[in-house]
A and B are shown apart, each in its own frame.
Chain A
Amino acid sequence: MKIVFVEANLKSDLDRIVKLINSNRTNNKDYNNILAWKYLTNPDGKPKVWIAIDEQTGKDIGISSIIPRKFKINNNTLTCWNSCDFSIEKRYRTLGIALKLRKKAKESVDNGEITAFFSHPNNKMVKIFEKANYPCIGKMLHLVKPLNIDFKMKSIVKYKFISKTLSRILNPFLCLPELFISKNRNYSFELLGNVPFDLEYDVFFSNVSKDYTIIGDRSSEYMNWRYINCPLYQTERIIIRNNEKICGYIIFIQIEKQIHLKDMVCISDDKIIIALIANWIKIIRKRQADYITAVFLQTNPMIKFFKKFTFFTASQESAVFAYVNERTDIYNAWLNNENWYMTIGDRDT
């Protein structure tokens, strides 16, 4: 069996890619729409998509893609690449093709086509990355804050009435960390729906990006593409302003009674970070949600603040892989997780 790999022409091959992904995924997502958005409208450029073809039958049997993302590295802008879709026909999942497809990004780095690559894959894909010899640069910590203990009580106490009563007595104690945050009159908060990001965010990002060695672009153009135009979900965000100027925000989604942080950036000021998190939790409490999740790279400076609000680290973890051309001057910086500011929002989509 001979398998050949070709780089797709996005204009003419998009239907092929959609067809392949549709035939290998069991969910009902509209990949026509999703891939058109992801592959054709990304402000940072066009992705690279490799298609594996069974030469004997001429059939497309797998794809792997990476998408460009601008980064601020030591305050210089550089386009790097993030792993994206990966799919192989059932009949060909014997690892060999998966490894070859997965290594395509690595080969592009090695031959100088691209400078650097990173990925925060799902846990199943982690093993493929390891086998393909991508260096793991760290773990993503999954932080969880229960907003009530109803579920826990139900599992401990048999009798409904007693478990409900105990939950009512104990639930208010979970609010204590937010209650003791002193108010600062200079801070104001705004809760927004899926409203476009404007130039104010560019100014904010330009300032905040100086605090980190490596941070993915969060310009208004990128954020509008990534969140506002995203066909996968609708986000909301809370903004904190100090003397009228934006100094931080949290982007999140709500799925039934669960709240998931999608991204967060804030200036390096402990009081402002704490006020932002506290007010976000207060807003969420009014929605009767059960819990909040927030996922950050293990070295993210925000983690310690979330822990102050009784977020605990869940046993679930995920890995981040990175690869960089060793001839570039960002080589050492890129592979050191201490340099990164990374949230779950830095995943492909």
Chain B
Amino acid sequence: MNEIKRFLIENKYLKKDSDISDNDSLLEKGVIDSVIMLELVAFLENKYSITIDKEDLMPDNFDSIIAIQKYIQSKVNI
């Protein structure tokens, strides 16, 4: 299981047996919202030692687990 999914499950934003795929929209499915994003951002910044710019907090980067992974990858590779 990837780190993002684990974070969502451990914090009870996602059920363990949820059928959400890595491509599904976390926003449409109601898994994340602006407030949960605050915690997710803090987790990602801490976990990957990156700084997430407020300008980057857009659906393009955070709508799905795949999108988040791609975004993190781009930040880590900088």
Contacts and interface: CB of A to CB of B under 8 A. Distances in A.
Contact of A99 (B32, B54, B63): B54
B25 A94 contact: no
Given A90-B28, A94-B37, A127-B35, A1 B58 contact: yes
Contacts of A92: 27, 59
B35 A128 contact: yes
Interface string B18-52: 00000001011010111101100100000000000
B70 to A, nearest CB: 14
B32 to A, nearest CB: 7
B35 A94 contact: no
B33 to A, nearest CB: 4
Contacts, number: 55
A93 B55 contact: no
A281 to B, nearest CB: 37
A124 interface: yes
Contacts of B62: 94
B54 A96 contact: yes
Contacts of B69: none
Q: Is the interface of B mostly helix, strand, loop or mixed?
A: helix
Interface residues of A, number: 17
Interface of A: 1, 3, 88, 90-99, 124, 127-128, 131
Contacts of A88: 34
Looking at B28, B34, B56, B63, which has the most chain A CB atoms within 10 Å of its CB? B34
Given A1-B60, A127-B38, A93 B54 contact: no
B57 interface: yes
A95 B27 contact: no
A1 B38 contact: no
Contacts of B33: 90, 93
A152 to B, nearest CB: 30
Given A95-B38, A96-B54, 8 more contacts: A1-B59, A1-B60, A88-B34, A90-B33, A95-B34, A99-B57, A127-B35, A127-B38
